[in-house]
Amino acid sequence: MMKQEFTVTVYTENQIGLLNRIAIMFSRRKINIESLNTSPSEIEGIHRFTIVINEVEEVVKKLARQIEKQVEVLKAYYNTNDEIVWQELALYKVPTDEIAEKVKVERLLREYGARAVVIRKDYTVFETTGQREEINKLIAVLEPYGLIEFVRSARVAIIKASSGFHSKLKEFEKKEPGEEVIENEYLGKGDQVFTM
């Protein structure tokens, strides 16, 4: 079996230490994480991890099942690149005098879907979003003009075929409503309850 790029999407409760436990699962299997993004999801109180790895499907399937065994994990999906819509964001810092003299900036920005976010005398910062290949092409174009600094974000991705985890969770809540919260009748009465 050939290794290929997979995006693992994990819906979790927002718990301290969970990121570390998930990362350990990858390192134990000697799997390098290419990209990792955590963010709030469409459901309040639920976070979403987007993890990119290069691996064979059988290993990814086992890994997703292992991740789901964590108490705070609600669901883990894995997808190939053609099953998701994904983007990355990149920032490029270049010397302003170089870029102003030698390049038709407007044409360059249009061609690569970039925009200037900071223009100073000493440097200009461009921003673009896209897939990794598109982002890397702009690096190659800007390098001859003295690319000072470059940074690319982690992947953000949406699963094409999924009706969404949100609707599944809402369905579950209708079938299995959570218990009503009962106020602790002794709250604030410690001096009456605990006497020496």
In the chain, what are the domains? Answer: 4-83+160-175 (3.30.70.260), 86-152 (3.30.70.1150)
> Where do the DSSP E strands lie in 81-191?
84-95, 115-119, 123-130, 149-152, 156-159
Q: How many angstroms separate the CA atoms of 10 and 71, rounded?
A: 13
> CA-CA distance, 176 to 153, in Å (whole number)?
38
Residue 159, amino acid: I
pLDDT above 60 for 70: yes
| Predicted local distance difference test score (pLDDT) of residue 80 | 95
Task: Say if residue 143's pLDDT is above 70.
Answer: yes
Distance, CA of 48 to CA of 14 (rounded, Å): 9
For residue 157, which of 79, 94, 91 has the smallest C-alpha distance?
79
| Model pLDDT for residues 10-46, shown as the tens digit of each residue | 999 887 888 898 999 999 999 999 999 999 888 888 8
pLDDT, tens only, 102-138 = 667 777 778 888 999 999 999 999 999 999 888 999 9
Q: Which residue type occupies 186? A: Y
Cα 86 to its chain centre, rounded Å, is 10
Q: Is 134 helix (H, G, I), strand (E, B) or coil?
A: helix
Q: Residue 58 to residues 11, 37, 61, 78: CA-CA distances in angstroms? A: 21, 23, 5, 11
pLDDT given at position 165: 62
